[in-house]
């Protein structure tokens, strides 16, 4: 197992294959293990970098809630690339991982060769919508503190099968990383100038409209809908998902 230390917080990561870097970030309350069905396909021509966000999986779960934020998560991603010797990478993720990938591009556009935005949304322009999202995030934090791993039962496949060294870290991550505070990410979409694919499971109803919005706002973005797949499209239909990802990478010479 490999770890990167970030100001006292241990960040778990693993690499597979060789070639240009491809950094994938998991969703909230999932772990890097959600990408197991993609390793063979995506590591065939790339260095696939998988990692656990702080508060998740095998990464550290600091007690201080100030150590969980969008900015720190983006910093962890940059530090991983630095640690592994990559100036640039194809960057992508699912759900919260997709949002963080957009945030990473906003802060480090020169380091992003392409974006893989999977079953996610870009945030909210209106304060009321953002506040409603944040209330839900805080409710999830409370449920995890109250019910532990039981709070994840019955959820999407990438969450239900996850194992976490410290389940309470998820509650702090929900308050510090899942919540949003500005419209800066959604407002950045028209400025994205790298190849991008926006992918969603056909049955992932909460994210269908967000997918359409991103595909329309990101210049030249490709849109892919995976049939018979929900929020965990990479797990529900790994064959179709991998074909779409590999096809996008090949079509853009990545």
Looking at residue 154, its pLDDT comes to: 67
Q: Delimit the domains of the chain by residue range.
A: 2-251
Contacts of 203 (CB under 8 A, 6+ apart): 228, 229, 230
Looking at the predicted structure, is the pLDDT value of residue 160 above 90? Answer: no
Task: Calculate mean pLDDT across residues 173-180.
Answer: 97
Q: Give the separation between CA 3 and CA 11, rounded to whole angstroms.
A: 5
* Whether residue 209 has pLDDT greater than 80: yes
Taking the whole predicted model, whether its pTM rises above 0.85 is answered as yes
Contacts 24+ apart (CB under 8 A), 109-113: 109/191, 109/193, 109/194, 111/78, 111/81, 111/87, 112/88, 112/194, 113/20, 113/88, 113/89, 113/194, 113/195, 113/254
pLDDT exceeds 90 at position 148: no
Strands of the sheet containing 222-226, edge to edge, are: 2-6, 9-16, 47-51, 21-25, 89-94, 112-118, 196-201, 222-226
Burial classification of residue 231, based on how many CB atoms lie within 10 Å of its CB (0-12 exposed, 13-18 middle, 19 or more buried): buried
- Across 26-128, where does the E strand assignment appear? 47-51, 89-94, 112-118
Q: What pLDDT digit, counting tens, does each position of 221-249 carry?
A: 999 999 999 999 999 999 999 999 999 99
Superfamily (CATH H level) for 2-251? Alpha/Beta hydrolase fold, catalytic domain (3.40.50.1820)
Q: pLDDT tens digit string along 105-124?
A: 999 999 999 999 999 999 99
Q: How far apart are CA 84 and CA 226, in angstroms?
A: 32
Distance CA 157, CA 34 (A): 8
Contacts of 239 (CB under 8 A, 6+ apart): none
């Amino acid at each position: 197992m490999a770890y990167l230390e970030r100001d006292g917080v241990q960040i778990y990561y693993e690499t597979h294959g060789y070639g240009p870097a491809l950094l994938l970030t998991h969703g909230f309350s999932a772990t890097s293990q959600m990408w197991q069905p993609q390793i063979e396909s995506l590591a065939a021509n790339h260095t696939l970098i998988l990692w656990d966000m702080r508060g998740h999986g095998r990464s550290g779960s600091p007690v201080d809630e100030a150590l969980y934020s969008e900015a720190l998560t983006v910093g962890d991603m940059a530090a991983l690339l630095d640690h592994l010797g990559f100036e640039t990478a194809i960057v992508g993720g699912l759900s919260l991982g997709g949002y963080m990938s957009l945030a990473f591009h906003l802060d480090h556009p020169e380091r992003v060769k392409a974006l893989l935005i999977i079953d996610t949304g870009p945030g909210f322009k209106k304060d009321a919508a953002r506040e409603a999202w944040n209330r839900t995030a805080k409710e999830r934090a409370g449920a995890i503190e109250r019910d532990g791993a039981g709070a994840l039962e019955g959820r999407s496949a990438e969450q239900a099968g996850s194992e976490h060294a410290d389940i309470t870290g998820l509650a702090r991550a929900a308050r510090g990383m899942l919540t949003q505070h500005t419209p800066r990410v959604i407002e950045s979409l028209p400025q994205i100038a790298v190849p991008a694919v926006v992918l969603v499971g056909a049955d992932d109803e909460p994210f269908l409209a967000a997918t359409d919005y991103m595909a329309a706002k990101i210049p030249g973005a490709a849109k892919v809908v995976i049939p018979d797949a929900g929020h965990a499209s990479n797990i529900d239909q790994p064959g179709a998902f991998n074909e779409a990802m590999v096809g996008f990478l090949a079509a853009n010479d990545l």
